[in-house]
Amino acid sequence: MAKAKLSSWLLYRNPGRFLKDRKERIQFGLVVIGLMFASNWLGHNFLVEPPAKWYHDFQLRRRAKTQEHVTRVVQIDLGDHERLFGGMSPLPGAAVVQAACALAGRGSSVVVVDLDTSSSVFPEDFQLPRSSVPIVWAVDTTWQAEGKKGLVQKADPVLGGRLATQPLYGIATMPADFDGVVRFWRSFEPIDGYPRPTLPWAAVQEYCRTGHGKCPKSKIAEVEAHPPAFTTDVRFENIHLSDFLTEASKEFPASCPVLSPDPRLKDRIVVLGGSYSRTDLHETPWGSRQGAELVAMAIEQVFDPAPLHELAEYFMIGLELAIAFSIAAIHHWIRPIPALLFTLLCLPLGVLISAELMFLFGDYEVGIVPFIVGMLIHQLVGSAERAEHRAYRLEQARALVPRGVE
């Protein structure tokens, strides 16, 4: 008796064939296509994107840290800032150049200066010192109004803008996501309408020109529609500038001296940054990180032998269609209220399981399938209850019709 009541509450008595004729199949297909377009736009813009990002952050935090193998981060901490630079902000131009030379002369392959030098003081006739090691300088960006073009992104001057020849430079920027968290980086930034290399990618290019390591294939100079994501937290050896520069003078060196190689810097991409200011902190899925650390993380990822693998778009469309048919089948065989409960409880669980599998085997950032959003909105409790009453009334009316009479 209890089993019959449970079956009567859970299942339709005579559901008929699923999508029995051509008309129903066409109607179902049109509804599915409309919901896919609508819920993809609605879900990715309002409902789905935040939980998908936060769940992916949770997945990333479970992954073990990796030890850096290409870069070295040399930081100007609070003590170095007080002793070497006199606590001045912006940093004195002569001391910044001496710091870069001190790192370039100790066996490094490339030196990246991730410091704001646009406001530093440089003499009118200043020239960069000669160096056998390429030094890549950071350039910040600004937005300027330019006629009909609207706002155009331009590069701030590097080293005070007084150089006769343009030095090696990279755009220093780490784009934040909708919630202020840095989850990805770009290889190129649009400057004056043209793609210019960012600081990490400029360092990679110079490193490859020196003939070190196995270099990735050259990228086309364009701003990525889908920029590379940070996939692994990196552990860096803690090195301070005072280990290499014991004092700073007001003189600009004409050339960078060649000193005995330091095993910590030899054949490495050295990123010089500051940890004395909290304004250079960026939020990431793993917590706060200094800007120089993010630059080094991006470089490490370029040389990672197991990069992020994206799944084809048609696979995601097929997954959404499969879930659409499963939801339709659930509501065809099961009564409205238990079908709603089944959808609310089981399908999100299925999406999380599929997200875990796709993350583990494909390293893919999975968004909760937005088609579910449209179906759940359609199956609110009120509509389910009304459908339940209609189903019972229809079955009672059919029970009163004699057999053989339609």
Rounded to whole angstroms, the Cα distance separating 337 from 344 reads 11
- CB-CB contact of 53 with 183 (8 Å): yes
Query: How would you write the pLDDT of the chain (406 residues) with one tens digit per residue?
Result: 666 666 666 666 666 666 777 877 787 777 777 766 765 665 555 445 666 678 788 888 888 899 999 999 999 988 888 888 888 878 888 888 999 999 999 999 999 999 887 777 787 778 888 888 999 998 887 766 666 666 667 776 676 666 656 678 888 888 888 888 999 999 998 887 788 899 999 999 999 988 766 777 777 778 887 788 888 899 998 899 999 988 888 888 888 988 899 999 999 999 999 888 877 899 999 999 999 999 999 999 888 755 555 556 677 677 667 767 777 777 777 777 777 777 677 666 766 776 676 666 555 555 544 445 445 544 544 455 556 666 666 666 666 666 555 5
Determine how β-strand 194-197 pairs with β-strand 188-191. Answer: antiparallel
Q: Amino acid identity, residue 180?
A: G
Q: How many helices (H) and strands (E) does the chain have?
A: 11, 14
Place of tokens 């029995």: 20
- Per DSSP, the three-state class of 359 is helix
Paired with 139 in beta bridges are 171
Residue 140 burial by Cβ neighbours in a 10 Å radius (0-12, 13-18, 19+): middle
Among 320, 399, 388, CA closest to 12: 388
DSSP state of 11: B
How many CA atoms are closer than 13 Å to the CA of 45, on its beta-carbon side? 6
DSSP state of 183: -
Paired with 190 in beta bridges are 195
Rounded to whole angstroms, the Cα distance separating 25 from 329 reads 13
Among 320, 366, 326, CA closest to 342: 326
Q: Kindly report whether the peptide bond that precedes residue 92 is cis, defined as omega within 30 degrees of 0.
A: no
DSSP state of 93: H
Determine how β-strand 239-240 pairs with β-strand 234-235. Answer: unpaired
Rounded to whole angstroms, the Cα distance separating 397 from 188 reads 68
For residue 74, the model assigns a pLDDT of 95
Domain ranges across the chain: 14-61+310-400, 70-302
What does the chain come to in residues? 406
How many CA atoms are closer than 13 Å to the CA of 233, on its beta-carbon side? 18
For residue 289, the model assigns a pLDDT of 94
The full DSSP string for 337-394 is HHHHHHHHHHHHHHHHHHHHHHHHHH---PPPPTHHHHHHHHT-HHHHHHHHHHHHHH
Helix (H) or strand (E) holding 22: helix 22-42
For residue 325, the model assigns a pLDDT of 75
Residue 315 CB contacts under 8 Å (≥ 6 apart), including other chains: none
The full DSSP string for 219-279 is PPSS--SSPPBP-S-EE---EEGGGT-S---SPPPSBPPP-PPPTTTTTSEEEEEE-S-GG
- CB-CB contact of 335 with 392 (8 Å): no
Q: The pTM is what?
A: 0.74
> What is the helix, strand, coil percentage profile of the chain, to 5?
45, 15, 40
Rounded to whole angstroms, the Cα distance separating 289 from 134 reads 26
Rounded to whole angstroms, the Cα distance separating 352 from 136 reads 43
For residue 382, the model assigns a pLDDT of 46
